Structure 1
Amino acid sequence: MNIELIPVLEIPITAKARLQAIQRPLASFQQNPFEWDEYQRQLLVVGGFSDYQCVIQGCNFVCVDQWSLPDLRLLVQNHLDSDGTAPIPLAESCALFGGCILIVDGVPVLVPQCCSTIADFSSWEDLLEPQFTAGPFCLEGHPGPEAVKNGVHLLITCEDPDEAFDQPAQSRVVVPIEDLANATERARQLMQAFADRIDLLSAELGVAKASDYIVWGNQ
């Protein structure tokens, strides 16, 4: 089984007055991927970012290894000043919005949910701890998936009676723990490289290590 775990950042909704002129496509991005892909491209360009390729066509997530330092600087500025009032101090901010996309044999089976942040990466590592048996994970967002360890496999469920999961999200998927561990290690390398780039902005953000707050979610 080919397992990928891809850390991603969510394309931000910025310059809201200008974005009103960009018409949202009809149907979902899965039903209308080409028009949604163009819509996401326009959101990036109008927001002042480079034109990046989304991990899933039409979806609003870009892998962390694609973002340039100037675009990360702009992304952080928008993140801290999202409501147009006084910027939130970095040390009081949540991590950047995003998370991890789980792909099984080339098929995306789980994406970051509403309000999820990149700091949710640690949840995937928690699943691999020897003491983990069962429980919810990716608690930064909602609704949250749950996992149960069954021998050498992990059963992940995406079911919530009160709130629908953002798609794609398979209701149940079984993955070999060893394969997930390998994918998580590759994702850790991407996360660390991403954190190192964010830390290049630390001085101008007035902190010793910016990634502590907006990548790893330490407060």
Structure 2
Amino acid sequence: MEVELIPVIEVNTRYQDLVESLASVVPLSPKTFLYRASDLSTESLKILSKIHIQGYLDGEWTLDEQCTFFGGYILRIAGHDTLFPQCCGEPSDIIYWKNIAKYGRAVYYHGHPYPEIYFTDDYVVFNCRDEYEEFRPAAPIEVSVPKIPLSAAYDTAVQELALVAHRLRSIADEVCLPVGDIANLLLYRNTELPTFAP
């Protein structure tokens, strides 16, 4: 069974220059504004970065208060996008996927609502029942993923994210963004598990 974990960034389409920079790329689902992070052009990443840190640049918040991009990871099973990041999901959620795929730990927060996770000998099972909120886009009640392909999908997602991180660092150097490690700031920093790395 083919399993993919696709890094995505949620794009706010209120900004005309950003919309224009996205002309050659489409969201992964017509019901979302989630774009595969590696599909975004350098110009799109540059605009997204500036938009996302504008509050810091304007003195409205500190770098410690800055959150990463919105988005996260789409779990694609056998070519079907099965589980999407939910409200408040972020690329920094890769650390939760690491705990699931590599360590067999049910540590997960990928926005809200979020599934409960349990493990069998060979599978990771995501239980997507939530009595308070609906998953959007809708998710199956239960998603079973073979452990070995999920582990490999995690490795591939980390590599893809590293390429995006490299591009972000080049952009920050080019436009002299005063934020230190922009990839850590916008992709990796997880405030709930700050000592963990992908």
Which band: TM-score by shorter chain? Answer: 0.7 to 0.9
Q: Indicate the percent of aligned positions where both proteins have the same amino acid.
A: 26
CA contact (8 A) 1:80 1:89 kept: no
Counterpart of 2:186 in structure 1: which amino acid?
I
What residue number does 1:108 align with? 81
Correspondent of 1:213 among 175, 178, 185: 185
Larger Rg: 1
Could you list the structure 1 runs, at least 4 aligned residues long, displaced by more than 3 angstroms after superposition. Answer: 44-48, 85-91
What residue number does 1:35 align with? none
What residue number does 2:136 align with? 166
Matched, 1:62 2:60: no
Q: What secondary structure sits across from 2:119 in the alignment? A: strand
What residue number does 1:5 align with? 5
Matched, 1:75 2:48: yes
How many residues get paired?
188
CA contact (8 A) 1:108 1:168 kept: no
With 62-71 and 88-97 compared, the bigger mean Cα shift is at 88-97
What residue number does 1:95 align with? 68
CA distance, structure 1, for counterparts of residue 31 and residue 130 of structure 2: 25
Over 3 Å counting, the alpha-carbon distance change for 1:45 and 1:57 in structure 2 is farther
Structure 2, unaligned stretches of length 5 or more?
Answer: 192-198
Higher relative helix content: 2
CA distance, structure 1, for counterparts of residue 83 and residue 96 of structure 2: 14
CA distance, structure 2, for counterparts of residue 108 and residue 176 of structure 1: 16
TM-score, normalized by length of structure 1?
0.76
Q: Deviations over 1:134-177 (max 9, x none)?
A: x351x251111221111111111112111111113111011110
Q: Write out aligned runs for 1:137-216 (5 A).
A: 137=108, 139-203=109-173, 204-216=176-188
Matched, 1:120 2:93: yes
CA distance, structure 2, for counterparts of residue 131 and residue 187 of structure 1: 17
The alpha carbon displacement at 1:87 in A equals 5.2
CA distance, structure 2, for counterparts of residue 3 and residue 14 of structure 1: 33
TM-score, normalized by length of structure 2?
0.84
Over 3 Å counting, the alpha-carbon distance change for 1:208 and 1:176 in structure 2 is same
Q: What secondary structure sits across from 1:215 in the alignment? A: helix
Structure 1, unaligned stretches of length 5 or more?
Answer: 16-43
